[in-house]
Structure 1
Amino acid sequence: MSGEMERRPLQEADRGELHSSLNDLAWAFARRAAGLGPDDPPFSVYDDGLSDDQIKAARLARVAIYKQLEMLVGTSMRLDVRQALEHGANWDDVADALEVSRQAVAKRFGDLRRGENVAVVISRRDRVREYPDDARVRVGEVGGAEQYASDRGIWPIGKKVRAEARYAIVAVDGTVRRIYELDPAGWREAEPNKWEFTAVHGRELDSEAIAAAYTAGELPLQPGDDCPTRAGGAYRPHWF
């Protein structure tokens, strides 16, 4: 199983539907802001049947709404570009999505540039959950011999991160608690698009090995460091 997702470019019909939906949405909010009912006349005909004053009020209201959308688009685009970069995208991918040059993307979003190295970060709460239908049955901070099985999967880790990550970092309640060295050949797709890692020697690293890797710049974090949970689930790639 490949387990990899590919982006499908927007087709002309998709763009038409998107534009129409946004137009209808903006007009509906404009009519509300201008004090016009949505059905008198039907909002699908926009200006039909409105007086000059009503048209002026509705159109100015829609100008204000589009300004809000413009601000939202700018903020959301930066967020999505950053998230895409963190999850394995590169400048060429972003340029292709925006249908602009790579140079234009680098100029616009250059401050979002990520590091060249990546580690797998798993964030969880200090608790245990039981899932009778899960092969692992108990997950979370189960302790003992079961902890490695709980930590190692399953996670929606992309191809680039699986190929490049050397370490998995487990944080509990926002603090790094365990670190594993990853076996590059040990990844297993347990479910479509969800993977299970294998640690070298099948156990977490000891403090001496962690200190050596951290000092060498191969690890961005070590036990005791702050590692707040971020939006998007328990797993995230950490580029450094």
Structure 2
Amino acid sequence: MILPNLTYLSIHIYRKISFDEFELFINKLNSKIKVLSLTTIVEDIAYLDANRWEEFILTKLPQLEKFYFKYSAYFSENYQTPIYFGQRDQFISSFWLQRRWILEIEFEFENIIYSIRPYQKRWYEYDTQHKMINSSDQLSKSIRLSLDEICPERWTKTIFINDYINYALTVTKIYQLEIHAKIFSDKLMEILHLLPEVNTLKIFSLPILELGDLSE
């Protein structure tokens, strides 16, 4: 199958298609793809192998200009979520930073969602006269974790927020944190204790604190 004019490709994978099978499919297209969007809920942990993605893109998709990727890891009681055992922090190599393709992580109910997309200006940059960060060092510290839920134990008895965070930390350090749920100081301190690299914090709803809450 040859599609020489194909330059934009969007794929949603909901069946058991491994990374190996995905690579074979792309190879068969024999296309000069410039924009690729891939969303998968198939828990083949190879999809989180940054070095494999790098080699694949350089050899099979050399014309790629924009890359959008979303991978969901499912958490539930009595279910063994596949664990990433590769080297950590591979998504901040020069390959990713030069292209400004940035990894982001989101906790959403029973899922950890890993996303890669072109870098977008963050809330703390809006006082920089419309300039975005450019240095590799700054970009490498732009990996963001967004929490839509901070108490998964409300519907599961054995899975807690620290389980989600420790799972995400097998792939990358977290430098930016956004919390979209109401959070009290004790829970906030618990989360920040697990994320010592955080340099940017955005909280959408923090109940009124009593004096001394954050100093205890």
What TM-score bracket applies, with the shorter chain setting the length? under 0.3
Structure with a larger share of its residues in strand: 2
- TM-score relative to the length of structure 2: 0.27
Structure with a larger share of its residues in helix: 1
- TM-score relative to the length of structure 1: 0.25
